[in-house]
């Protein structure tokens, strides 16, 4: 069963930026969506689709940190969300804040890094990402 769940997680990460469904994942392992969803939830403590959303939000957080000047629509689509609205709703629900707030904080940290020429700003940006990960509600 562990190998199956590892495969499912690998599948999700390999297709994260693409449009896929639980049926696609289940089909890749020749299981019913019901059975795969049940087993995943029992073993991981999180629904399969919530896991997909968490992975996409984590991808978006990293994207914002690496490309803070990109529009949030670009971030949403690059992270596998179908629309900007879907991205905003999921991000707010699971992090408790809006993605523009993270982008603003990252931009300020970068500006301070360039101004201060210190490593404190870089550590601050890393701490921001960590705090967003820890605040995620799943």
pLDDT tens per residue across span 36-76: 999 999 999 999 999 999 999 999 999 998 888 899 999 99
Please state the domain extents for the chain.
1-45, 47-138
Q: With beta carbons less than 8 A apart as the criterion, state whether 106 and 64 touch.
A: yes
Average pLDDT for residues 130-134, to the nearest whole number? 58
Instruction: Determine how many CB atoms are found less than 10 A away from the CB of residue 47.
Output: 15
Q: With beta carbons less than 8 A apart as the criterion, state whether 49 and 38 touch.
A: no
Burial of 116: CB neighbours in 10 Å, binned 0-12, 13-18, 19+ = exposed
Instruction: Determine how many CB atoms are found less than 10 A away from the CB of residue 51.
Output: 18
* pLDDT of the residue at 118: 47
């Amino acid at each position: 069963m562990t190998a199956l769940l590892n495969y499912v997680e690998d599948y999700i990460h390999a297709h994260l930026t693409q449009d896929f469904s639980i049926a696609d994942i289940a089909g890749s392992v020749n299981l019913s969506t019901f059975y795969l969803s049940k087993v995943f939830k029992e073993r991981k403590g999180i629904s399969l689709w919530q896991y997909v959303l968490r992975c996409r939000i984590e991808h978006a957080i990293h994207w914002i940190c690496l490309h803070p000047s990109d529009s949030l629509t670009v971030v949403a689509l690059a992270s596998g969300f179908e629309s900007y609205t879907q991205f905003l709703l999921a991000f707010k629900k699971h992090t408790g804040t809006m993605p523009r707030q993270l982008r603003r904080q990252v931009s300020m940290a970068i500006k301070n890094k360039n101004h201060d020429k210190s490593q404190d700003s870089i550590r601050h940006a890393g701490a921001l990402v960590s705090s967003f990960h820890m605040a995620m509600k799943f």
